[in-house]
Structure 1
């Protein structure tokens, strides 16, 4: 199974990358709920979050926390929320969503961004890995 996320990890598809290490990658969601909506994924293709090995799960949460802290410093928001849905792409992933209201967690609401805005935002988020 080769998902869109696997193709992003392999460099076959472009993304607005925020952070990357040997095991994980974070990039802006191209269909965001809010400005700064980011996806954190393991590079290893695993369908469901809870199918990750215990250590990989804990490391993904640690990685996601670092990305969330960087987002909170970059994108004006009250806090960064986290969601795991897992139905859109069969590859484990965590949504980090800058929040100013509960409506920002509604996946039916979308925030429009142009390519330049995505690029500028991706460059401005500095994650301390």
Structure 2
């Protein structure tokens, strides 16, 4: 059975993509701790990050670092937070989001999907894509 992330990657569920290559995708979290909260996910469905092959792990982190730079620049945050939890979806993913303190590291404080402002979510995705120079599907332009 496919994870929800695999369904997003395959286009079966909607996603606001900001990056995509053959190994890694990045899209906005539907339950963000802050606008600009991105999930960096391997295309291959692997539950635990400790089980990823080294090349995919390296690519995942390279993308996370680039998105972190974008998050800091676009949202003016002091830092880009980086978090691996992995209990909510059995598919490796890295959370990267704007951070000025430790409050975002508690994912229980995330906004419920039905309370986010769709215009702010679309705007966050567009700003990140502009910085990363990617199109609506996350491909380089």
TM-score, normalization: structure 2? 0.86
| 1:121 correspondence with 2:124 | yes
2:71 and 2:77 in contact (8 A); partners too = no
Q: Unmatched 5+ residue regions in structure 1?
A: none
State the secondary structure of the residue aligned to 1:47. coil
State the secondary structure of the residue aligned to 1:108. helix
Q: Unmatched 5+ residue regions in structure 2?
A: 134-139
Structure 1's consecutive aligned runs of 4 or more residues displaced over 2 angstroms after TM superposition are 110-113
In terms of fraction of residues, the more helix-rich structure is 2
Alignment correspondent of 2:52: 52
Length, aligned pairs only: 129
Distance 2:44 2:24 in 1: 8
Alignment correspondent of 1:5: 5
Alignment correspondent of 2:73: 73
Query: For the aligned residues, what is the CA RMSD?
Result: 1.3
